[in-house]
Structure 1
Amino acid sequence: MSTLRFPRGLYGVTPDWADTDRLLAAIEQAHVGGMTALQWRRKLGAPADLRVQARAVRDLCLRLGLILIINDDWRLAADLDADGAHLGRDDGLVAQARLALGSDKLIGCSCYDQPELAARRLRDDADYIAFGALYPSGVKPDAVRATLDHVRAGRRLVEDRHPPGEPATAQPRAAVVAIGGIRPDNAAPVIQAGADSIAVISALFEAPDIRAAAQRCARLFDTDPDTAPGTGTGTA
């Protein structure tokens, strides 16, 4: 089994909630259900209020031992000493973020429907490459649509850099993340196509039972990732 730099499994992405107490309670329930990493993503609100919430989320993640990635803002990630940052197209260079965060932090990059962009980000030493939206997204209805073939192409890219079966002492490989409209009932084909992690917003945090939704997602990763259908280096 390949060792990953970014954890395999459910990657929760926070909704744009101003109610911090509600958000913290939801994060804790998702963690209990099996969420392996969290991205704090907040687009609306006064900068001071956003920072207060980000710090509260950071403190909770430290207590839970949960990996915390800050969306868009690598400067805030560095200030909070978060576990890393997620960079979109216009959020700066991987090299800038790496210099600010340090070699031990995680940097993920949106690659949309562009394996060629993913290849460049891997050369920049990103820790994960993210494709999406895989399905229609209520959060970003106008998002570029990616396909399972893009996920397969991304998996080939990371495996070409770290082939299966390499020594356990080899450097861990970058992960493939899928995002966009993913729910427990449509995620299986995405994982079978080669996603190491699924990023979920609404189907997790807007679920009637957040813990149960997280458990349903987490159970999809029970199979060995290196033997799951759709992974490996076959044609897309």
Structure 2
Amino acid sequence: MPNVSGLYAITPDTDNSEQLIEQVSAALDGGARVLQYRNKGSDTVRRLWQANILASLARSRHALFIVNDDIELAQAVKADGVHVGRDDAAIAAARAALGPAALIGASCYNDIALARAAVAAGANYVAFGAVFPSATKPQAVAAPLALFAQSIDLGVPRVAIGGITTANAGQVVAAGADAIAVIGGLFDGDGIAERAATLAALFD
């Protein structure tokens, strides 16, 4: 099973599909190894269309494609896996629906006990965050970087998320994160491919 590592790009929530495809192409060209499609919008037709295109883009660049919190959509576009919230039942449901080869990630916030429970339930990787204040989720709980040293025995990749930019990502990698999940710090503004390359190079 492929591992989650390096730059983990999470898509900005947008209805502008053309712009989204351009942005994601740039991030993948810059070195993103994982792409998560995250769209909380209600237009299921648009979400399916976007996810299909982005799954193809990711495959063409040999990157993993993960769908956020929608097992049926992940199944429909033959994604590599799905990312779910804090519920063990969601991990079990994802595994039952997507099969033994699927990558299942779980948000564990600032809670190592929750991470251990997620791994026991079958999660292939866990995410801790927000490691820095996040514009995407301003109310997110703060997750200290010390969590990465404390969770080294989990046996699965540990992803850092929340407020990560080219300016502070080095601290996160130095703390022991196996991957950094980035939204605004990657996709906001021009120069996406360059920022992706800078972030990806931290793992070389």
Q: For the superposition of Structure 1 and Structure 2, which TM-score range results when normalised by the shorter chain?
A: over 0.9
Structure 2, gaps ≥5 residues long: none
**How many Å separate the matches in 2 of 1:91 and 1:127?**
13
Aligned to 1:171: none
Matched, 1:62 2:59: yes
Q: Of 175, 183, 188, which residue of structure 2 is paired with 1:206?
A: 188
Contact 1:72–1:88 (CA under 8 A) maintained in structure 2 = yes
Q: Is the 8 A contact 1:11 1:198 kept in 2?
A: yes
Aligned partner of 1:109 in structure 2 is 106
1:129 and 1:154 in contact (8 A); partners too: no
Structure 2 CA distance for partners of 1:124 and 1:34, relative to 1, 3 Å: same
Following superposition, the deviation at residue 81 of structure 1 comes to 0.8
Residues 28 and 58, structure 2, Cα contact 8 Å, conserved in 1: no
| CA-CA distance at 1:156 after TM superposition | 3.1
Q: Identify, as 1 or 2, the structure richer in helix.
A: 2
2:163 to 159, 178, 181: 181
**Distance in 2 between the 1:121 and 1:149 partners?**
19
Q: What are the superposed Cα offsets for residues 166-220 of structure 1, whole Å, 9 maximum, x if unpaired? A: xxxxxxxx20100000011101121111100000000111142000000110111
User: What is the alpha-carbon distance in structure 1 between the residues aligned to residue 89 and residue 192 of structure 2?
Assistant: 33
- Alpha-carbon deviation of 1:44? 2.0
Q: Distance in 2 between matches of 1:22 and 1:92?
A: 35
Q: Which amino acid aligns with 2:16?
A: D
SS of 2:140's equivalent in the other structure is: coil
| Other-structure match for 1:166 | none
- Correspondence 1:32 to 2:49: no
Q: Distance in 2 between matches of 1:35 and 1:47?
A: 26
Matches within 5 A, 1:43-192: 43-89=40-86, 92-158=89-155, 174-192=156-174
Per-residue deviation, 1:157: 2.5
Deviation for aligned residue 1:62: 2.5
Cα drift, residue 64 of structure 1: 2.5
Instruction: Tell me if structure 1 keeps the 8 A contact 2:6–2:179.
Output: yes
Give CA deviations for 1:132-162 in whole Å, capped at 9, x if unaligned: 000010000001110012222222322xxxx
Q: 1:64 to 1:127 in 2, by over 3 A?
A: same
- The answer on whether the counterparts of 2:6 and 2:200 sit within 8 Å (CA) in structure 1 is yes
Contact 1:72-1:91 at 8 Å conserved across structures: no
TM-score by structure 1 length?
Answer: 0.82
Amino acid at match of 2:8: Y
TM-score (norm 2): 0.94
Pairwise CA distance, 1:92: 4.3
**Secondary structure of the equivalent of 1:93?**
helix
Provide the residue aligned with 1:22 in structure 2.
19
Change over 3 Å in CA distance of 1:40–1:23 after alignment to 2: same
Moved over 4 A (4+): none
- Name the SS of the counterpart of 2:151 in structure 1: helix
Distance in 2 of aligned mates of 1:129 and 1:32 = 25
Q: Kindly tell me: are residues 157 and 63 of structure 1, through their superposed partners in 2, closer, same or farther at Cα, counting changes over 3 Å?
A: closer
Q: Which amino acid aligns with 1:70?
A: V
| Contact 1:131/1:177, CA 8 A, preserved across alignment | yes
In 2: Cα distance, 1:91 partner to 1:85 partner: 14
Identical aligned residues as a percent = 42
Task: Tell me, in whole angstroms, the C-alpha distance in 2 between the residues paired with 1:207 and 1:128.
Answer: 29
Tell whether the 8 Å contact from 2:161 to 2:180 is kept in structure 1 after alignment: yes
